[in-house]
Amino acid sequence: MADYNKYDPRVDSLVMENVTFWDPAVGKLSEEDKTILARAVHQAPEKAAKIAYARSHTGFTREITVTVDDIARIYDEQTGRV
């Protein structure tokens, strides 16, 4: 049985829907910032700090909880600090 609480490329290939949650430590963000960050974190799900998969009728739903570490990583990648 697959572990649905970590990145799995086989399961990820069956993802039909993405859901984004926000860690309380992230604080308040504008809707525009949330949209940009959610898109970035789902483009590289293997790098997400908290990822889970939920079964759906047609495949899986990828659920990522965006953390402060994810935001720092995305910022570093966008500014060339990596």
Segment 14-38, tens digit of pLDDT: 999 999 999 999 999 999 999 999 9
The pLDDT score that the predictor gives to residue 43 is: 96
pLDDT of 1 > 50? The answer is: no
Q: Pick the closest to residue 38 from 12, 25, 20 (CA basis).
A: 20
- Whole-structure pTM value: 0.89
Cβ contact 54:8 at 8 Å: no
